[in-house]
Amino acid sequence: LQLAESGGALVQPGGSLRLSCTASGFTSDDYAIGWFRRVPGKEREGVTCIAAIDGSIYYSDSVKGRFTISRDNAKKTVYLQMNSLAPEDTAVYYCAASTWLVGCSIVTYEYEYWGQGTQVTVSS
Protein backbone atom coordinates (compact mmCIF):
# COMPACT_ATOMS: atom_id res chain seq x y z
CA LEU A 1 0.00 0.00 0.00
CA GLN A 2 1.63 3.21 -1.15
CA LEU A 3 0.88 6.90 -1.33
CA ALA A 4 2.64 9.33 -3.63
CA GLU A 5 2.40 13.09 -3.36
CA SER A 6 3.11 15.45 -6.22
CA GLY A 7 2.65 19.09 -7.13
CA GLY A 8 4.96 20.79 -4.69
CA ALA A 9 6.81 23.81 -6.05
CA LEU A 10 8.12 27.28 -5.38
CA VAL A 11 5.31 29.83 -5.54
CA GLN A 12 5.03 33.51 -4.76
CA PRO A 13 2.95 34.78 -1.84
CA GLY A 14 -0.68 35.00 -2.84
CA GLY A 15 -0.26 32.26 -5.39
CA SER A 16 -1.90 28.86 -5.70
CA LEU A 17 -0.82 25.24 -5.96
CA ARG A 18 -2.62 21.95 -6.26
CA LEU A 19 -1.10 18.93 -4.59
CA SER A 20 -2.07 15.39 -5.51
CA CYS A 21 -1.96 12.22 -3.44
CA THR A 22 -2.29 9.03 -5.43
CA ALA A 23 -2.88 5.69 -3.73
CA SER A 24 -1.80 2.30 -5.03
CA GLY A 25 -2.33 -1.16 -3.67
CA PHE A 26 -5.61 -0.35 -1.92
CA THR A 27 -8.34 -2.81 -2.88
CA SER A 28 -11.16 -0.39 -2.14
CA ASP A 29 -11.80 3.29 -1.52
CA ASP A 30 -12.54 2.75 2.17
CA TYR A 31 -9.77 4.91 3.57
CA ALA A 32 -9.66 8.38 4.95
CA ILE A 33 -6.96 10.71 3.69
CA GLY A 34 -5.29 13.40 5.68
CA TRP A 35 -2.88 16.09 4.61
CA PHE A 36 -0.15 17.11 7.00
CA ARG A 37 2.83 19.42 6.82
CA ARG A 38 6.10 19.77 8.61
CA VAL A 39 8.54 22.59 8.97
CA PRO A 40 12.07 21.64 10.07
CA GLY A 41 12.34 21.77 13.83
CA LYS A 42 8.59 21.63 14.39
CA GLU A 43 6.03 18.92 14.92
CA ARG A 44 4.04 17.62 11.98
CA GLU A 45 0.85 19.66 11.69
CA GLY A 46 -2.50 18.35 10.51
CA VAL A 47 -3.96 20.47 7.73
CA THR A 48 -7.10 18.81 6.43
CA CYS A 49 -8.74 15.44 5.92
CA ILE A 50 -11.51 13.76 4.00
CA ALA A 51 -13.44 10.73 5.16
CA ALA A 52 -13.84 7.51 3.20
CA ILE A 53 -17.58 6.84 3.38
CA ASP A 54 -19.51 10.04 3.94
CA GLY A 55 -16.90 12.37 2.50
CA SER A 56 -16.89 14.57 5.56
CA ILE A 57 -14.10 17.11 5.61
CA TYR A 58 -12.21 18.98 8.28
CA TYR A 59 -9.81 21.91 7.99
CA SER A 60 -7.42 23.30 10.54
CA ASP A 61 -7.98 26.94 11.43
CA SER A 62 -4.70 27.88 9.77
CA VAL A 63 -5.93 26.89 6.30
CA LYS A 64 -9.70 27.19 6.52
CA GLY A 65 -11.05 29.29 3.68
CA ARG A 66 -7.83 29.00 1.67
CA PHE A 67 -7.32 25.26 1.14
CA THR A 68 -9.76 22.78 -0.37
CA ILE A 69 -9.52 19.01 -0.23
CA SER A 70 -11.29 16.75 -2.70
CA ARG A 71 -11.07 13.17 -3.86
CA ASP A 72 -11.54 11.33 -7.12
CA ASN A 73 -12.01 7.68 -6.24
CA ALA A 74 -11.88 6.59 -9.87
CA LYS A 75 -8.32 7.93 -10.02
CA LYS A 76 -7.55 6.94 -6.42
CA THR A 77 -6.34 10.48 -5.97
CA VAL A 78 -6.97 13.14 -3.36
CA TYR A 79 -6.25 16.75 -4.18
CA LEU A 80 -5.28 19.67 -2.01
CA GLN A 81 -6.01 22.99 -3.68
CA MET A 82 -4.08 25.72 -1.91
CA ASN A 83 -4.94 29.34 -2.57
CA SER A 84 -3.71 32.63 -1.09
CA LEU A 85 -0.48 30.97 -0.08
CA ALA A 86 1.68 32.71 2.48
CA PRO A 87 5.31 32.20 3.54
CA GLU A 88 4.11 30.42 6.69
CA ASP A 89 2.63 27.71 4.46
CA THR A 90 6.16 26.69 3.47
CA ALA A 91 6.65 23.09 4.52
CA VAL A 92 6.94 19.53 3.33
CA TYR A 93 3.41 18.32 2.72
CA TYR A 94 2.49 14.71 3.36
CA CYS A 95 -0.65 12.73 2.69
CA ALA A 96 -1.62 9.79 4.85
CA ALA A 97 -4.26 7.08 4.71
CA SER A 98 -6.28 5.46 7.43
CA THR A 99 -8.28 2.30 6.79
CA TRP A 100 -10.04 2.31 10.15
CA LEU A 101 -11.20 5.88 10.76
CA VAL A 102 -14.97 6.22 10.52
CA GLY A 103 -14.81 9.90 9.76
CA CYS A 104 -11.56 11.75 9.34
CA SER A 105 -8.96 13.24 11.60
CA ILE A 106 -5.85 15.39 11.47
CA VAL A 107 -4.17 13.50 14.27
CA THR A 108 -1.01 11.88 12.96
CA TYR A 109 -1.12 8.62 14.93
CA GLU A 110 -4.51 7.72 13.48
CA TYR A 111 -2.96 7.13 10.07
CA GLU A 112 -1.15 3.95 9.06
CA TYR A 113 0.22 4.80 5.62
CA TRP A 114 2.26 7.82 4.67
CA GLY A 115 3.69 9.27 1.49
CA GLN A 116 7.21 10.60 1.15
CA GLY A 117 6.19 14.23 1.04
CA THR A 118 6.41 17.08 -1.42
CA GLN A 119 8.07 20.43 -0.79
CA VAL A 120 6.02 23.60 -0.96
CA THR A 121 7.95 26.85 -0.74
CA VAL A 122 6.18 30.21 -0.66
CA SER A 123 8.62 33.01 -1.26
CA SER A 124 9.10 36.09 -3.40
pLDDT in tens, 32-71: 999 999 998 999 999 999 998 888 999 999 999 999 999 9
What are 81-91's pLDDT values in tens digits? 999 999 999 99
Q: Confirm if 8 and 89 have CB atoms less than 8 A apart.
A: no
Distance CA 51, CA 42 (A): 26
The string of pLDDT tens digits covering residues 4-31 is: 999 999 999 999 999 999 999 887 788 9
Write the single-letter amino acid at 11: V
More confidently predicted of 1 and 50: 50
Contact of 3 with 95, CB cutoff 8 Å = yes
- Smallest Cα–Cα separation from 58: which of 101, 6, 18, 17? 101
